[in-house]
Each structure stands twice: as structure tokens, then as C-alpha cells.
Amino acid sequence: MLRPHKNCHQKMRARQIDYREWHHLFRQIPEELVESTRYYRHLNDAEWSKYLFPPSTHAVYGNRLLRKLKFDNSLASLRLWGFAMSEGERLYRARQSGYRVIAEMGDLGAVTPLVHSFPDTISFYPDCLWWTPFLMESHVLFNEAAEFGLGEDCCFVRAAIGGYSKRAYFPKPDLNIGVTGATCDDMAAVMSEIALSGDEIHWFELPHRSEDNFQYSKKFLAGEHKKLCNKMEELTGVKFSESRFNDVVDKVNRLRSLIKECKELTAADGLNPIGGIEMMNVEFSALSYYADLDECLSVIEDFRDMLKARVNAKEGYTGQDIKIIWVTPAADPILINYLEELGGRIAGSEYVINQVTSRIRKDCSPFEALAEAQLQGSLMGSSAFRAQLVLDEIERTKADGAIISGIFGSSHCPFETSIIIKAVREKGLPVLAFDTAQPGKVKLQSQIYNRMQAFMESIRISRSRYAG
Amino acid sequence: MPGEMNPRERWGLLLIDEIPDRPPVYPLVTSHAAAAYGCDLIQYCTDGEVLAEAQLYAQRLYQHEGLSVFTDVGIIAEAMGSKYHLREYEVPILDSPIIQNPEAVEDLRIPDPVQDGRLPVYLEAIDKLYTAAGDILPVFAFIPCPFTTSAGLRGTEEFLISTALAPENAHKLLEISLQAAVKFCDECILAGALPVLVDPLASGSVISRSTFSQFASPYTRRLIEHLHRYDLDIMLHICGDTSGMLDLIPATGADLFSMDKADISSAIAICGDKIRLAGNLPPHGLLEVSRIDMAQKAEEAVEKGITNPKGFVLSTGCEAPIKASPEKLHKIIEIGRKSHYDFKW
Ligand code: SF4
């Protein structure tokens, strides 16, 4: 297995560097390593399957934000970036290689193990297109969504409908799975528009979770998984196989525990061992494994090893000593760099994907096991549940404060923001909440930066008072 | 129109072996942009901001699908010391090459793209174009291949003679031209552009197959290998007649071949399974005075090109003339924009 972090290049001090420096450093990476870092390895080194490339490669193809971001300087991180950034092309290559491509929308990462247990089938998450307008610093997908009546009063996930309409971001899915029921209104609106525009959706109903009806919810959810399984059998013409499913679950559980380990290492005392954007890439691999579970495991394992080595060696970035919990993923990754620039580090997170964090049981029926894991979802129950997830993260990481990056106009996050703020303040910790500015809104963004600066200063002052 | 792909999306699909809604339409609107914008070529070739503004103006006018940063094929040779004569209404031409005797090769230095010659003009223009429209339009930087740069350093005739009489010296020159091109390409990439390699001197109209294979192609291939290491898709443009060397093109490693005088159907038969093709409307047909029916040419090119298994870009065989007729340019672009693949999503 590839172990890029064991390369001589790794002897460099842990640092955050820009795309220009990566472009030049990249030349020092041995050719064999670039050649052997591939996805879909079973396709015998398909010419297009390499992915260990620097951010400048992706910048040339329009991902303009990469020219402004700071990246970790390890090979393991470069590999992670290359793997995540190549997902779009990978979906097309999967289709060209005869794979079925399944779209999972809404709070669904929980169904991915089931989908991947069918042969030659991969899945992806159209919702994740919400990062595209920010990475490209572009309004193309938002303008497209506006053609369907979804404007600034809808969450950034509206970019997903732009992807469906433009037909240039992923191949036509063999199956679209969408959630209904206890899900967010914004995503529900996006999915309805997709359905109305003619893309058939298999609806998967999420029950509302409450302590009183947990068993009922579980049974109901298990039934939804069974229905989806039937649909997959119909689509693929292949019977569901428990042994194939168990193989996938073993891998998924391994991935989830690797991610958990990475999160623990990130919160370790001492220097900040890694950038928050890299960690966000790691956490989101749990949704659909960037469309290649085996390679994803290898990428995250390398990343974990690199992190472990840094933490053991007490290595990390200097000057980032204020531990922050980030709540709701940052649609604009540069916000995370801002925090780091101001001396903060993301020690923990609540990225509304708790449904893909817990281990999937193997001692009960597959559908029940999936249902049980899914019922840990961040968004399918009370806001108090999610607020508690944030408090748990604070406790686990001994954080100094929390930042909530909301989305103007969206239905879910604003409602929960005030509840989370209250819960965190009751614990005596400061919270900063703001709405993420749309791409290109430079003035709004500078305001966010100023607010972050004041927030970080106030934490420092209260720290020094306390110390005094 | 809802659902319509933009140029970035269309090119993106083409480059991953997918069929977009239609071929990108990308005539080489380079110095003609200056005429369209209303500046002279000295301004266009020496001021990155003017170059960028002119490109954006021309793109808004014609709606073609890419921004082109190109002044002249001597850009690297000039930065290494050759003198070029800048003219208001013609592209720059070589005045006096830096190398007057073979030994002078040893004194050559690889130029610094940030400060030498007019290389910074390119970088400024690329940065401005990428910042202004890089999410929607690809930005292409036209970089002369080592063979063409060597001719600019030594003088075309002297250099071609050296390939026969002093091949070692020619290779030395090619080597340093290659290093200069690598460094310049890197900076163009970092500024946001995808390099397009141009090698007008490697045309079948100028050199033989064997000179191409021994002196032009190996250095172009090494330059492309450098760029491939970064996973970039590289277009090679050779003007003039390449019909006798089509079989040699895939060996350069280029991902797209922008061709001038060669039959599209023959190109498809010879190398269409290995390389995407771009071309090849006769640029002089765009002149007001020309009797060539460009609409018919465009229709024929599309009809043939669209069958290329690796994909096709409707383009001109070389730069659109400075004095190209805007109506004719509009017409060929309109025809290209009406073409379509049998695209089923
Ligand atoms: S509003 Fe919040 S929960 Fe809803 S789709 Fe957007 S980020 Fe997800």
C-alpha cells in the first residue's frame, strides 16, 4: 500500500503553504509515487486514474479559491486534496468503466453502505456541490438554481439543482435517492425542483426521532432501507447479499473509526497538528467515500498516520493555540483559514453529518443496523440533541469557544443557531455566529473577518485575565 | 438559457472523454482582439491590462469559448535577449537574434518570467482574465515550443542550417529553450492559464518529417511531459501544412492537436482515436476581401470534426487575421454554436 508520508519529503516541518509553493514542491515528489497514486486500482492503472496533483492543477481548471487558500504541506494532505478534488472526474470515469452511479440527497450518507454493497455501484452526494460556487468563486450554479425559483432565500445546497440542470458536473445518475420527512426544508425544496424537472427520485422517508418513539423510528427506518434495497435489486438485477454487505460495513466501520481517530488527534494538546480544511475533507469522506471506498480508506489511513506521527513528535503549526469548535460546515473554506490566521484552530466540529459517524452493528439485521446508525443523525430530531452534540465536542476537546457559520435565508441552520448559542453560553463559553457571505461579496467577508478578529481577541483577553 | 453549458463546463467534459452538448467553438482570436477593442498592437503586446481588456471585449463581442493570451512566438526568445520589432498594425517580428555565433549558446540564461522582456505582460494579462472570468471561460496561454524559440534565438535560417550541419549546437539551443519554456509555463499556470504550445516553425511547410522527429518533437514531448506531470491537458498548435506528419503528432504526447492545413477526415482516420482535434477554418477566409465561403467551410468542418472519437473543437487553422471581418467571425461562431452532439444525459 502507498505510504507517501514515509517519503523523504515528509521530513519538512509542519506548515501551511500556498498553492504556489505546492506547485514547486510537487516536483520533488518521486515520479513513481505520482504514477502509483491512483483510484479504481482494480482497473489496472487506467491512464486517467492518477490523482496526486497539486492545487495549481485544479486552479487552472477554474477552482479559483485554491489560489487563496493555505494547505498543509504533508504528502498525506496533498493526497487527500487530490483525492477529494478528483471526485467529479471520478464519477464520469466510473460511468465510462461500466459502474452504476447513484445520487444520494439530503441527510443520507447512512444509506451509502447499502448502495455500495451492490456490485459495480458507487454513489455521490449532489448536496456537496454547495462548495463548488465557493471553490470556483462563481455564481454559475446559483444563477442556474435561480432559474428554478431558488434564490438567495435558499441554502447554498441549491447549487445541486444547478448541477442537475447543467448536466456537466456529474453523469446522469442511474438512481436518485432523496429524503423526505424529518429533513431540512431547503434541501427538500431543492429535491422537489429536481423531481419536478423530470429526474425520477426514489423517496426515502426519515421519521422524526424522539426518545419516546425510538423503537418505532428504528423499525420504520429499517423498512425504508428494505424498500431501498428492493429498488437497488430491481435496478442492478442482483440480489442483495448479506456477505457483500458485511464486507462493505467492515470497511465503512474502519473508515469511521479512522475519522474518529483523526478528530481525536486534531484535538490533542500542544501544537495544532493539521489545518481545519484538511480535516473537513476527512470528515466528509464518510458520506460517500469520494466514490471509491478502498482508495478512500487508504487515503485516510495515510492521513491518520501522518497526524499521529506529528502529535507524537509534538509537531504542528505555531501560533494557532485557541481551540474552536466549528458548527455547520463552512461553505467557504477560506473562513477556516481566517480563523487559523487569527491564531485559532479547529479542535472539533458539528458538521450536521452525525448520521455517518457511529459504528454500524453486525449482530442484527442489516436494515436495523443501518437504521440505528442513521438515528444518530444531527438533524432528524430536536435542536436540543444537536446542541448537545456541540457541547459534547466542547467537552471532548476542551475548546475555548465555538463558531457557527450559518447560511442566510436557509431554514434549518438559523433556527438552530440561537438554541446552540444559548447552550454554549450557558456553559460559559463565547460563541460567534455569522452568515457565510456569497462568493465574491468581499465587503461582507471582510466584516466576517473583523468579527472573527474581535472574537479571537476577546478570548485571548479573557484567557490572560484568567491567567492573571 | 437554463440548462445551457458554459465554455468552462463544455471544455471540462471534452477533456475527460465525455461528450458535451456540442463542440467548443474557439477560433484563435488573438491579435484581432486588439483591432476589435481599438488599440494598436504595440499597446496590446506590451501592456497586460490592455491585452486582457481587449480579450474580454472581443469575447463579449463574439462569444467564442476561450480567452487567448498570445502576442507573438518570439516572446521567450526576446526575454532571452533577441530583439523584436514591435509594430502598430502587424505582429512583432525578429529584428536581431541574440546568438550571432554558435559559441554564444553557452552565455544564454533562462529568463525570469516575472521581470524579463514581455513575459510579465503575459502574466498580468492571465491574472486579470482569470480573475475576471476564469470560472466561465478557460484562459489559454500560448507558449512557443523549444523549436520555435530556438529559431528566435539563432535566426530561423541559421537555426535550420544548424540542425543539419551542427546538430549538437542545435540540441544545446533546444535544451535551454526547453528549460525557459518550462519555467514560463509554470508561471502561466500559477497565474491561472492552461498552456497551449505553438510551434509554427515545426510545420511541414518549413521542415521535413525527419527534422520534426529529431529536433522538434522530442523537445515538445519533454515540455508536454513536464505539464502532464501536473495532469494538465495540452493543446499543440502547428500552423501550415501538417498533412504529411499527422501520424507523428500523437508521439508528442499532446492531448489536443490544433491543426491548420490538413484534411479533418484524414486527421481523424490517422490519429482521431488518440487525440482531440481542433481546427481548421482557413484564417485568410475571414478577410473582407476573401471569396472563400466561410459559412460552408464551418459547416463542413463541424460535420467532419464532430465524428472524431476523441472530440473536436471548431477553430481556425491559425490566428484570425488582425483585419478579420467581424461579420465573418460572427458567422462561423454562430454555425459552431448551432452544432450539437447527440448528447443524452
Ligand atoms: S439549511 Fe442547513 S441543514 Fe438545510 S441543507 Fe442547508 S446546511 Fe443543510
Residue ranges of domains in chain B: 20-338
- Banded pLDDT at A468 (limits 50, 70, 90): low
* Confidence (pLDDT) at A411: 79
Check CB contact under 8 Å for A48 and B16: yes
Q: Is A187 in the pocket of ligand 1 (CB under 6 A)?
A: yes
Three-state helix/strand/coil letters over A278-312? HHHHHHHHHHHHHHCHHHHHHHHHHHHHHHHHHHH
> Residue B4 in contact with residue B326, Cβ under 8 Å?
no
How far, CA to CA in Å, does A374 sit from each of A108, A127, B314?
8, 18, 50
pLDDT digits (tens, 9 = 90+) for A294-336: 999 999 999 999 999 999 999 999 999 999 999 999 999 999 9
* Confidence (pLDDT) at A8: 44
Q: Could you tell me where the beta strands, DSSP code E, fall in A46-120?
A: 71-72, 100-105
Check CB contact under 8 Å for B135 and A138: yes
Cα separation, A378 vs A106, whole angstroms: 12
Q: Is A399 in the pocket of ligand 1 (CB under 6 A)?
A: no
- Element (DSSP H or E) covering residue B327: helix B326-338
Q: Is A410 in the pocket of ligand 1 (CB under 6 A)?
A: yes
> What is the residue with the minimal CA distance to atom 6 of ligand 1?
A155
* Confidence (pLDDT) at B204: 83
A444-451 contact pairs (CB < 8 A, 24+) = A445/A332, A445/A334, A448/A335, A448/A338, A449/A338
CB contact, 8 Å: A113 with chain B?
no
Say which amino acid occupies B300: E
Check CB contact under 8 Å for B229 and A34: yes
- How many angstroms separate the alpha carbon of residue B186 from the centre of ligand 1? 40
Angle (CA) B165-B168-B169 rounded to 5° is 80
* Confidence (pLDDT) at A191: 96
- Banded pLDDT at A14 (limits 50, 70, 90): very high
Cα separation, A171 vs A78, whole angstroms: 26
The number of angstroms, rounded, from the C-alpha of A70 to the middle of its chain's C-alpha atoms is 18
Sequence-distant (6+) residues with CB within 8 A of A265 are A273, A274, A304, A307, A308, A311
Check CB contact under 8 Å for B230 and A53: yes
**Widest Cα–Cα separation across chain A:** 70
- How many angstroms separate the alpha carbon of residue A186 from the centre of ligand 1? 6
Q: Quick one: DSSP state of residue B204?
A: T
Q: Is the pLDDT of residue A6 over 60?
A: no
Shortest Cα–Cα distance, A176 to chain B (Å): 14
Cα separation, A411 vs A51, whole angstroms: 37
Q: Span A103-108, mean pLDDT?
A: 87
Sort out which chain B residues have CB atoms less than 8 A from A34's CB and list them.
229
Q: Is A413 in the pocket of ligand 1 (CB under 6 A)?
A: yes
Check CB contact under 8 Å for A54 and B229: no
CB contact, 8 Å: A20 with chain B?
yes
Check CB contact under 8 Å for B192 and A67: yes
Check CB contact under 8 Å for A20 and B6: no
pLDDT tens digits in sequence order for chain B, 345 residues long: 789 999 999 999 999 999 899 999 999 999 999 999 999 999 999 999 999 999 999 999 999 999 999 999 999 999 999 999 999 999 999 999 999 999 999 999 999 999 999 999 999 999 999 999 999 999 999 999 999 999 999 999 999 999 999 999 999 999 999 999 999 999 999 999 999 999 999 988 899 999 999 999 999 999 999 999 999 999 999 988 999 999 999 999 999 999 999 999 999 999 999 999 999 999 999 999 999 999 999 999 999 999 999 999 999 999 999 999 999 999 999 999 999 998 777
ipTM (interface pTM): 0.95
Q: Is A412 in the pocket of ligand 1 (CB under 6 A)?
A: yes
Q: Is the pTM of this model over 0.90?
A: yes
CATH class of B20-338: alpha beta
* Confidence (pLDDT) at A44: 84
Q: What percent of chain A has pLDDT over 90?
A: 87
CB contact, 8 Å: A196 with chain B?
no
Sequence-distant (6+) residues with CB within 8 A of B113 are B79, B119, B120, B122, B123, B183, B184, B186, B187, B188
- Banded pLDDT at A45 (limits 50, 70, 90): confident
B-chain residue closest to A25, CA distance = B230
> Residue B56 in contact with residue B344, Cβ under 8 Å?
no
Q: Is A379 in the pocket of ligand 1 (CB under 6 A)?
A: yes
Mean pLDDT of all residues belonging to chain A: 94
CB contact, 8 Å: A385 with chain B?
no
Q: Is the pLDDT of residue A396 over 50?
A: yes
Sort out which chain A residues have CB atoms less than 8 A from B17's CB and list them.
48, 92, 96
- Banded pLDDT at A1 (limits 50, 70, 90): very low
Cα separation, A63 vs A56, whole angstroms: 9
pLDDT digits (tens, 9 = 90+) for A340-389: 999 999 999 999 999 999 999 999 999 999 999 999 998 888 899 999 99
> Residue B276 in contact with residue B19, Cβ under 8 Å?
no
Q: Is A190 in the pocket of ligand 1 (CB under 6 A)?
A: no
Q: Is A191 in the pocket of ligand 1 (CB under 6 A)?
A: no
The helix/strand/coil state of B316 is strand
Sort out which chain B residues have CB atoms less than 8 A from A140's CB and list them.
6, 135-136
Sequence-distant (6+) residues with CB within 8 A of B45 are B51, B71, B72, B86, B91, B92, B118, B121
Sort out which chain B residues have CB atoms less than 8 A from A166's CB and list them.
3-5, 9
Check CB contact under 8 Å for B232 and A19: no
A-chain residue closest to B5, CA distance = A166
pLDDT digits (tens, 9 = 90+) for A415-460: 899 999 999 999 999 999 999 999 988 889 999 999 999 999 999 9
* Confidence (pLDDT) at A467: 67
Ligand 1, atom nearest to A127 Cα: 5
